């Protein structure tokens, strides 16, 4: 079920394809070795090891926690969640002091295959996906086993189309984020998908890995990675289907990807709370097609929609601005204001501002997203009024709480911010102030 291309000491440096019964054997053996605990934080970078760890935890009735990042403060915050958690990893993480950890690569998991298919309680809380909340506290999105199974069956129809063929898939996104979990982990379990265990970055590596996969191929990615792939100028092997999510994709880039890979590119619209919700063929159409199983009701205050579905444990509020074209067809006018997404990671600007203001020595300051230009990643910018704090120590302060992609850049010290008399910071003033500073530089 999984194609292994990296060295896995614990699984005997196996290079090749694991069958379902090999996988079940690995899961059973790992479940027997895991410590007793209500929850586990799964930081495995290798996608196969992540999946083995995820399923072994379910067998032990341990809830897998999926944090937004690996920062020390995040680990310490989650260590007591839901009665306590330990960290499962494959060697690539710096574990915060005082938290128990298990390195899956130090365990012996090889052995006989297994045909035992366990019965799993649908209401068991299999995973909690944490996202940045507007309050500054991470928001816990609960994923009972039933939700994961039923949404995966829906996703298989939405994303894979013809279900008779088995795709060989490669993903450029981590298993820990909802987009990566839904596709690279769960579609491999509930759809006709054989997934590579690697998480590749550079176009040359992705090309080499795709060449090793049997057709039909499937690529699971994001606009950031796809842009780098097509601009690299490398000849790419044909890919039947490209799935893209996490940030808006332009028609031009979508068409470029379809040409370079001779592929059909399906863009998915989703969020951590609900999962995948709608899709479109971006190169050919602007409108989104809502998944049959979801029901959107406009909120009476006009601030978004309530989303309901049989497979969701509770209804969710979606703040995105939507214009309906037909009963199940819509245009996306803009996402909720506070959240920004970089390479599949979601951050709250409000949370970044709270972190900035919590640094000692910072008198005033603001973190904001400047106007983005095209497909290039736009980073949050910080303007800071401070005494006695260096840029290095302020950056280190951010690094304790945030994923590196959200650490503001540039981080500039200023004498004061262009506040209105009532103390308000108007976005247009802030942007022109920022342009002046850049021009003066």
Partner 1 sequence: MAEQTSAQLEVAKLLVDTLNLEDVAAEEIDPQAALFGDGLGLDSIDALEIALAISQKYGVQMQADDENTRNAFANLATLTDFILARATK
> Applying CB under 8 A, which residues contact partner 1?
200-205, 208, 224-225, 228, 231-234, 342-343, 376-377, 379, 391, 395, 399, 404-405, 407, 409-412, 438, 441
Nearest-approach distance from CB 66 to partner 1, in angstroms? 18
- The residue among 259 and 376 lying less far from partner 1, judged by its C-beta, is 376
By beta-carbon proximity to partner 1, the closer residue of 33 and 201 is 201
Query: Shortest Cβ distance from residue 91 to partner 1 (Å)?
Result: 16
CB of 201 to partner 1, least distance (A): 6
Question: Minimum CB separation from partner 1 for residue 74, in Å?
Answer: 16
CA distance 143 to 176: 13
Ramachandran region, residue 283 (left: φ > 0; alpha: ψ -120 to 50; beta: rest): alpha
216: preceding bond cis by omega (within 30 degrees): yes
Closest CB to partner 1 among 34 and 224? 224
Residue burial 295-304, b: 16+ Cβ < 10 Å; e: rest: ebeeeeeeeb
Calpha distance 1→22 (Å, rounded): 9
Collapsing DSSP to helix, strand or coil, 375 comes out as coil
Distance CA 27, CA 15 (A): 18
Q: Which is nearer to partner 1, 86 or 261 (CB)?
A: 261
Evaluate whether 146 touches 18 at the Cβ level (below 8 Å).
Answer: no
The whole-angstrom separation of Cα 244 and Cα 254 is 9
Q: Give the shortest CB-411-to-partner 1 separation in angstroms.
A: 6
Nearer to partner 1, 225 or 280 (CB): 225
Nearest-approach distance from CB 404 to partner 1, in angstroms: 4
Closest approach of Cβ 44 to partner 1, in Å? Answer: 17
**Residue 56 vs 349, nearer CB to partner 1:** 349
323 or 371: whose CB is closer to partner 1?
371
CB of 435 to partner 1, least distance (A): 11
In the bound state with partner 1, the residue whose beta carbon lies nearer, of 106 and 438, is 438
């Amino acid at each position: 079920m999984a194609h292994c291309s990296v060295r896995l000491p614990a699984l005997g440096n196996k290079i090749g394809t694991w069958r379902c019964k090999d996988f079940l054997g690995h899961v059973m053996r790992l479940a027997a070795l895991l410590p007793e605990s209500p929850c586990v934080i799964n930081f495995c970078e290798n996608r196969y090891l992540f999946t083995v760890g995820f399923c072994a935890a379910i067998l032990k009735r341990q809830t897998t926690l999926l944090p937004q990042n690996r920062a020390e403060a995040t680990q310490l915050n989650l260590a007591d969640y839901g009665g306590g958690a330990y960290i499962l990893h494959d060697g690539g993480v710096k574990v915060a002091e005082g938290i128990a950890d298990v390195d899956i690569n130090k365990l012996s998991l090889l052995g006989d295959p297994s045909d035992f298919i366990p019965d799993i309680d649908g209401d068991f809380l299999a995973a909690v996906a944490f996202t940045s909340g507007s309050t500054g506290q991470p928001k816990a999105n609960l994923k009972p086993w039933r939700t994961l199974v039923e949404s995966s069956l829906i996703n298989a129809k939405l994303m894979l189309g013809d279900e008779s063929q088995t795709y060989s898939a490669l993903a450029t996104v981590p298993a820990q984020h909802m987009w990566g979990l839904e596709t690279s982990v769960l579609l491999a379990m509930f759809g006709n998908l054989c997934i590579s265990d690697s998480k590749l970055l550079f176009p040359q590596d992705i090309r080499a890995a795709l060449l090793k996969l049997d057709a039909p191929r499937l690529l699971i990615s994001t606009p950031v990675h796809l842009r780098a792939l097509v601009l690299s100028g490398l000849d790419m092997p044909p890919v039947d289907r490209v799935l893209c999510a996490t940030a808006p994709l332009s028609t031009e880039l979508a068409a470029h990807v379809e040409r370079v890979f001779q592929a059909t590119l399906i863009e998915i619209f989703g969020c951590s709370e609900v999962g995948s919700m709608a899709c479109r063929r971006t190169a050919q159409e602007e409108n989104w097609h809502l998944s049959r199983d979801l029901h959107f009701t406009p909120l009476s205050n006009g601030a978004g929609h309530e989303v309901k579905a049989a497979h969701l444990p509770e209804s969710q509020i979606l703040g995105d601005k939507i214009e309906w074209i037909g009963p199940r067809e819509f245009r996306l006018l803009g996402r909720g204001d506070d959240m920004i997404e970089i390479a599949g990671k979601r951050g709250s600007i409000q949370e970044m501002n709270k972190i900035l203001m919590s640094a000692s020595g910072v008198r005033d300051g603001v973190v904001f997203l400047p106007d983005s230009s095209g497909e290039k990643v736009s980073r949050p910018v910080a303007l800071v009024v401070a005494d006695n704090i260096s840029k290095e120590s302020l950056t280190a302060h951010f690094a304790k709480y945030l994923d590196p992609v959200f650490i503001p850049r540039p981080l500039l010290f200023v004498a004061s911010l262009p506040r209105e008399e009532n103390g308000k910071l108007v976005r247009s003033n802030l942007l022109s102030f920022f342009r002046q500073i850049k021009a003066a530089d």
